[in-house]
Structures are given as structure tokens and as C-alpha cells.
Amino acid sequence: MLRFILALVLALPAFAADLDRAPVAFAYQNSKAVYVDFLSAEYNLTYDLSARTASVAAKIRFLAPEAGYPIFDLASNTVSNVTIGGAATSMQTLTSPDGASTMRTLGTAVTAGEHVMMLEVPLATLVAWDNGGVNSATWLSDLSDRGYLERYMPANMEFDRVAMTFNVKFVGATKKQIIYANGDVSLLADGRTQIRFPSYFTSSSLYFHTVPEGVMAETRFSFRSIDGRELPVVIYLKPGLLNPQAALATLKSETINILNELEGDYGPFLHPSVTIYNAGSGGMEYMGATMTSRSALGHELTHSYFARGMIPANGNAGWVDEAIASWRDEGYQRGGAFSGGANMAGRAEYIRYTDRQAYSYGEKFMRDLDSLFADKGGLKSLLREIVEKKAFQPFTTEDFISWAEGHYRVSLKQIFQQRVYRQALDGELKSKPAESVHHQKLTIEQLHELL
């Protein structure tokens, strides 16, 4: 009994903490649309090689904190067999009150408490059929609305951590399929491959890429973390025009150098493994994984600490990790000319993607903070403490400010108000921000080329 109570006490704060960072419920259909807490999400992926079709059957258990229409998201309009508690229902589209985001709900309101939602959706985005095999990935983007897991399957918003499982079935495959993923991969008795992702993963965390055997050149080795763990690392690439063995050897030594540097600055690597796809262009971070160009490798691995370690809970918090990663890209400069403001944190309440001024103005703000606290260990001392104490706890910009205030023991609200909130628009920075060279936004068509 005591153990049961203890387990309950330990489990409750995690759920409560996630919903604390959820956007506010809003009026919908004479009732309310309510943000919910996903408790578990099982995704059954089936690739039918002869029919050249793929689909996902999802089973999601969630907790509604109050009665209303449960909010989730899924980009595809084509769904079937939608049920709630075993009863047929439909998927509906809704827009946030500020017009900043589009989401989904069900045709049926639910009571407060636990529910099970099921639905099926074709998997058509980033799927390329090869003779007897398939190339498929669930790559994400933080630079547009609805760019996370909801691109492919029903998912919650960034604030919510949930234990996710992929059960992957290849029907009629004549080639062995290789799976690159940042979860625990095992083979089930029925022949399916199961990937279990850690319970602190959110809709922006998971990496999944499958290709027929022999398509990629790869190197596997282990990295000895400063805490003594041997972390399995895989680096892979499409052979193309490169000399793949030489490219892999270079990437391996660069990866080891970068991981050593990051561990020296911020402590043990936060993830149990490292997966790197050198795609030649683009750059997107996942938990302990990245799809990247060689030049962006350091930037993207930094994101395993900031973005996919210290995780933003919403679009208004996404600037923090880009500003930090860009500050590292520029060699951690301290101080320098700095003025004006950029509204990176005070945009629409329901916005779900990162403001691109993070790479330029945000980077300069980090230099400025580093200079301001030079006599207190600079900005890195705060970042080290956040990594140590707040990893995997989705944060808002307001959390970041309060963590900084606690660390440096000064009030920082006024500085942040001036630099990163709406009022900052009166400042001088009004031009459209430039594309980041380290974090280039790729279209679905461009991503398709990299499968």
C-alpha cells in the first residue's frame, strides 16, 4: 500500500506539470475545447510493399482535466475508424481563438477523466517505394505550424510528454528493412519491429527513418560519456558522390570532438544513444539524434541539450534554444553592440513554431546576458544548472526568466520585457530575419529527396 501511495505521489506531479504548460482551453460548439494529457500513444505502422500503401493505426489513452472537446492534432484530413471509448465518432478541425494555429478535435465531447481514442490514417508524407522496399521518415520541423509528429499521425502539442510506441510491420518486403530511431528497438514474436520511446518524449522528440538494407553507408561505435556510460552512436549517409568511408571517418572524429566539448560545458550527454544522418543539407534536431549537414553538426548536437534536453513547451519558447545554439555557433562571444528588441516570446498565445529572429537577434541577446553576468560565471553557469536540474521538463520563456532570476539572484523581467516581448516591436529591429545557415528550412519536396 505504501509503495502504491508512493508511486501515485511520484506519478502525479509529472501529469500536473505537463498540463500546467498547456495553452488555455477555449469556447467551442456551446462547450469548450480542452487541452488533454496523453498518457500513452501506440502507433501501429503498416507498410504494404506490394500495394505500395502505408498507414498508421493509433491508440491514444488520454486524461481530460475537464469536460469538453479534446484537442490534439493531425495534418491529414483522411482518417477512418475514429472512435472514443469504443464508440464511433469523427475528427473535426478547429482554429485557436487568436487564429495562430489549426488543430483537431473529435465530433464528441468527453467527460473529465481518462479516455481511449483510436483512429487510422494513411501514411503518405515522406514515403518512397523502392523495388520490394520502402524509404520512410517522420522528420519534423519547428519552423512552421503543425510541423511535428502531427504531420504523420495524431499527436499532442509540445507541452506534453508521453510514452510512445511504434509497432512497425512490413508486408511483402523482399528486402530487409533497417530502422534508425532514438528509442529501444526490439523484434516482436509476430515479426513486427517495436520501438519504445522514453516517457519524457514529446511530439518534437522522436526520430524514425527506415530504408532497405544496403542503401546507407554507416559507422557504429560507442562514445564514452564523462559519467562512464558507453553510448551507442550510429552515423549514416547516402553514398552518392562522396567517398563514404572517408566521410564517415571525418564525421566520427568531429562527433567525438563535439560531444566532448558539450559534455565539458554542460555535463553528461542527456540521451542513451546518438543517431546522426548526414543528409548533406538541412538540419533538424531530435532527442539524441539529428538529420544534418556536416557544417551544422555542432549546432544540431548542441540541440540535444537545448531544445531536445531543455524542451520548449510552446512556440513562444522555441527562440531560447536557437539563440543558445547560435551563440555557440558564433564561438560564445561575450558582449558587443546590442540594442532594440525582437518579439520572439510575446507572439500569438497559441503559436506553435519558433521565431526566426532567434538565430540573429536572439544570439546577440545571449552575448549580452553573458556579459551582464560575466562576474557570476557568465551565461554558461546558468545553462549548466538548467541542464542538470530542468532537463526534460517542458519550459516556457517565463520559466526561463524565473530560472535565470533564481540563479543570478536579480530581477530580469524588465530586461526580457524590453528584449523579447511584444513591446520590443517598437525597437529598431523590424526587417525580415535571414535564414539560418545552420538550420535551413526544407520543404517536404526537399526532404523527400533525402529519404
Helix axes 318-329, 397-408, angle to 10 degrees: 60
Q: Element (H or E) spanning 249, and its range?
A: helix 244-266
Q: Element (H or E) spanning 169, and its range?
A: strand 163-171
- Is 439 a binder of Zn ion (CB under 5 A)? yes
Nearer to Zn ion, 22 or 442 (CB): 442
Phi-psi region of 113 (alpha: psi -120 to 50; beta: other; left: phi over 0): left
Nearest-approach distance from CB 325 to Zn ion, in angstroms:
5
The C-alpha atoms of residue 15 and residue 160 are separated, in whole angstroms, by 9
Size of residue set near Zn ion by CB under 5 A: 3
Nearer to Zn ion, 18 or 355 (CB): 355
Cα angle value 41/47/52 (rounded, 5°): 140
Nearer to Zn ion, 308 or 439 (CB): 439
Nearest-approach distance from CB 292 to Zn ion, in angstroms:
10
Q: Which residue has the cell 546507407?
A: 216
CA nearest to 224, candidates 159, 169, 274: 274
Nearest-approach distance from CB 211 to Zn ion, in angstroms:
25
Nearer to Zn ion, 261 or 405 (CB): 261
Nearer to Zn ion, 217 or 325 (CB): 325
The C-alpha atoms of residue 63 and residue 43 are separated, in whole angstroms, by 18
| Separation in Å, CA 208 to CA 136, 169, 170, 178, 275 | 8, 14, 15, 11, 10
CA nearest to 123, candidates 134, 109, 108: 134
Nearer to Zn ion, 291 or 325 (CB): 325
The C-alpha atoms of residue 135 and residue 450 are separated, in whole angstroms, by 10
Nearest-approach distance from CB 272 to Zn ion, in angstroms:
22
Nearest-approach distance from CB 219 to Zn ion, in angstroms:
24
- Is 308 a binder of Zn ion (CB under 5 A)? no
Name the one range near Zn ion by CB under 5 A: 59-67, 124-132, 159-167, 320-328: 320-328
Nearer to Zn ion, 158 or 322 (CB): 322
Nearer to Zn ion, 38 or 361 (CB): 361
Residue nearest to Zn ion (CB): 439
Nearer to Zn ion, 297 or 325 (CB): 325
Nearer to Zn ion, 160 or 322 (CB): 322
Question: Exposed (0-12), middle (13-18) or buried (19+): which is 9, by Cβ within 10 Å?
Answer: exposed
Contact 60, 386 (CB under 8 A): no
Name the one range near Zn ion by CB under 5 A: 156-164, 236-244, 260-268, 318-326: 318-326
Name the one range near Zn ion by CB under 5 A: 75-83, 163-171, 391-399, 431-439: 431-439
Name the one range near Zn ion by CB under 5 A: 143-151, 232-240, 319-327, 361-369: 319-327
Scanning residues 323 to 362, which ones bind Zn ion (CB under 5 A)? Answer: 325
Nearest-approach distance from CB 242 to Zn ion, in angstroms:
24
Nearest-approach distance from CB 140 to Zn ion, in angstroms:
12
What cell does 57 get?
Answer: 493505426
What does the CA dihedral 312, 317, 320, 325 come to, rounded to 10 degrees?
A: 50
Contact 310, 390 (CB under 8 A): yes
Torsions phi, psi of 27, nearest 5? -65, 140
Biggest distance spanned by C-alpha atoms of the chain? 65
| Separation in Å, CA 13 to CA 1, 7, 157, 314, 319 | 19, 11, 19, 20, 27
Nearest-approach distance from CB 86 to Zn ion, in angstroms:
42
Binding string, 263-302, against Zn ion, x = CB under 5 A? ----------------------------------------
Nearer to Zn ion, 318 or 394 (CB): 318
Nearest-approach distance from CB 362 to Zn ion, in angstroms:
11
Nearest-approach distance from CB 358 to Zn ion, in angstroms:
8
Nearest-approach distance from CB 303 to Zn ion, in angstroms:
6
Which residues of the chain form contacts with Zn ion (CB under 5 A)? 322, 325, 439
